[in-house]
Amino acid sequence: MRTDFQNVLVEQDENVVTLTMNRPDVLNAINTLMLEELTEAVEAAAQDETIRCVVLAGAGRAFGAGQDLTEFASAHAGSQPLNVSEHLAKYHRLLLAIRHMPKPVIAAIQGVATGITLNIALACDIRIAADNARLREGFARIGLVPDGGGGYTLPRLVGLGRSMEVALLAEDISGAEAERIGLVNRCVPLSELDETTRALAKRLANGPTRTYQLIKELMYKSVDRDLQASLHLEGQLQEAAYATADHREAGNQIHGQIKASQQTIVRRRC
């Protein structure tokens, strides 16, 4: 995949690719170019079969400070008012590309993660936060509703009551508190963030990628369905999982182990 982006660093280590939002001087605030580049990189990672896990990170001392407000302000000041739906559609393309990624996506969050950058992290499958993380649904502070899928992901991750508090008060949430309420999966010391993320990414990259894709589909579709529909989907996806080489291989191994243990029992009985 392309690696010569201006605002996104692309580093591949074996089957893991790390996409790093790279405007550290402005805490990785997302401008038009970064959004285009990140979307292109995420879509390319989805297609690239040498990649089996994607990590999203921020350069410097922050994960990201949300939409670039200077770019936003110039759009507001211009003679043409910003077409909000068109503007948001570009973010939606990125969010859907992350959600539909046929392999796991991990967000590694250090320092500030606010506004739409936080909501991009919430679209990822797993979030690891450093203990210096400051997560904030900052939209209400600038008179906006949580966009970038926040209205969807937030209540599903932390529940409706808590998501109201998070969105209405728009206060900083520490990494430890984010772990406690389920906004992130794990909070680790900053010095361990890279290593923890790398180890998890490698573990996932060495796992059954096709099965992970099916698990993602099952989980994400099921949160929007009733039990009956989820059970129906589960049947369809399990059929696909049964057909994978990973399942056959694991099944053969387990079968071999069971046979071996049975033989031991038989021998003991003799």
Q: In angstroms, give the least distance from the CB of 66 to ligand T3D.
A: 2
Question: Interface with ligand T3D by CB under 6 A: which range of 5-13, 98-106, 136-144, 186-194?
Answer: 136-144
- The C-alpha atoms of residue 7 and residue 24 are separated, in whole angstroms, by 10
Taking the complex as a whole, the smallest distance from the CB of residue 155 to ligand T3D amounts, in Å, to: 18
Closer to ligand T3D at the Cβ: 84 or 258?
84
CB of 93 to ligand T3D, least distance (A): 13
For ligand T3D, the closer CB: 27 or 51: 27
Cβ-based nearer residue to ligand T3D, 17 or 65: 65
Order of strands, sheet of 16-21, starting from the edge strand that comes earlier in the sequence:
8-13, 16-21, 53-58, 105-109, 126-130, 186-188
Q: What does the chain come to in residues?
A: 270
Q: In whole angstroms, give the CA distance from residue 42 to residue 35.
A: 11
What string marks each residue from 88 to 107 as x (binds ligand T3D by CB under 6 A) or -? x-------------------
Task: Give the Cα separation of 184 and 135 in Å (integer).
Answer: 10
Note whether 139 binds ligand T3D by CB under 6 A.
Answer: yes
| Residue 163 sits in the site that holds ligand T3D (CB under 6 A) | no
- For residues 124 and 105, is the Cβ–Cβ distance under 8 A? yes
User: What end-to-end distance do the CA atoms of the chain give, in Å?
Assistant: 61
Residue position matching structure tokens 């200077």: 70
- Work out whether 73 is an interface residue with ligand T3D (CB under 6 A): no
Give residues with Cβ within 8 angstroms of 265, minimum separation 6: none
Interface ranges with ligand T3D (CB under 6 A): 26-27, 29, 65-70, 72, 87-88, 112, 114-116, 138-139, 142, 144, 147
